[in-house]
Structure 1
Amino acid sequence: MNDHMANERGWMLDEVLKVPEARHAILLSADGMLRAHSQGIGRDEAERQAAALSGLQSISRSTVEFCTIQDSPWRQTLVEFADGYVFLVAAGPGAYLAVSAGQAVDMEAVSYRMQKLVDRLGKELTAPPRQDVGTPT
């Protein structure tokens, strides 16, 4: 996939970055494939982060019993660093939206914009399960 194809939806992700201190946004599939990235992050870095964030989501989801007795669906993971945050939210079946932000970001504003983007785009942000890429057509 060339960068133009990977970034077909990139402009939509740029909307989330209008919050001051928001840095980068990527859309990824559950299996860690990059679906789109915001303008300020290169494709190689976005692909590396998509793979890492897929693992983070999987680990987060596996801790549900620590929070509740019932099987509760995963909604969001927030990671805090000394210099900022990474927000990771569900963006439809098999798709996740991740945003990085600086330390002074309005966390509520980022979460709100992310959810509004997911709501507004609906089907646009769904990523179907990855097909076997080795099968000849």
Structure 2
Amino acid sequence: DPDAADRVAAACAGLQSLASAVSQEIPTSDGDMKMVLIEMNGGYFYLMAAGPNAYLAVLSDVRCEPGRMGLSMADLVARIGPHLTSPARRNGQTV
């Protein structure tokens, strides 16, 4: 469903922005958002930084072990993160 995909992408952008803002307010943080984890009825949602302007989002059911998923995501990002990088855009054009 393209509309649902657009809504989830917009929600991911909002989560990333909020997490980055919080990270910048923590004195011991480097200011970069690394990962967001949301636990909900029925499962988990993960959002992890995957390179400049790129993020990896994963939705899992309740049987998933959050720590193991985080490690698996970090491993995947280490291997393919550079290929996920997307140039910044403004008004639909690459900046």
Instruction: Give the alignment partner of residue 6 of structure 2, picking from 31, 47, 53.
Output: 47
Task: Summarize the alignment of residues 1-137 of structure 1 with structure 2, pairs less than 5 Å apart.
Answer: 42-64=1-23, 65=25, 68-72=26-30, 73-133=32-92
* CA distance 1:133–1:91, change in 2 (3 Å): same
Q: Superposition RMSD on alpha carbons, in Å?
A: 1.7
* Separation of aligned partners in 2, 1:119 and 1:70: 24
Structure number with higher relative contact order (C-alpha < 8 Å, ≥ 6 residues apart): 1
Q: Percent identity?
A: 37
Deviation track 1:37-94 (CA, whole Å, cap 9, x = no partner) reads xxxxx433222101111101111111122xx314522101111112211100001101
Q: Secondary structure at the match of 1:96?
A: strand
- Superposition TM-score, scaled by structure 2 size: 0.82
Name structure 2 gaps, 5 residues minimum: none
TM-score by length of 1: 0.59
| Partner Cα separation in structure 2 for residue 133 and residue 103 of structure 1 | 38
Relative to its length, the structure with more strand (as a share) is: 2
Q: Secondary structure at the match of 2:6?
A: helix
Give the aligned length. Answer: 91
Q: For 2:51 and 2:34, how far apart are their aligned partners in 1?
A: 11
Output the CA distance in 2 between the equivalents of 1:123 and 1:131: 22
**CA distance, structure 2, for counterparts of residue 106 and residue 70 of structure 1:** 28
What CA distance in whole angstroms lies between the structure 1 residues aligned with 2:59 and 2:78?
Answer: 20
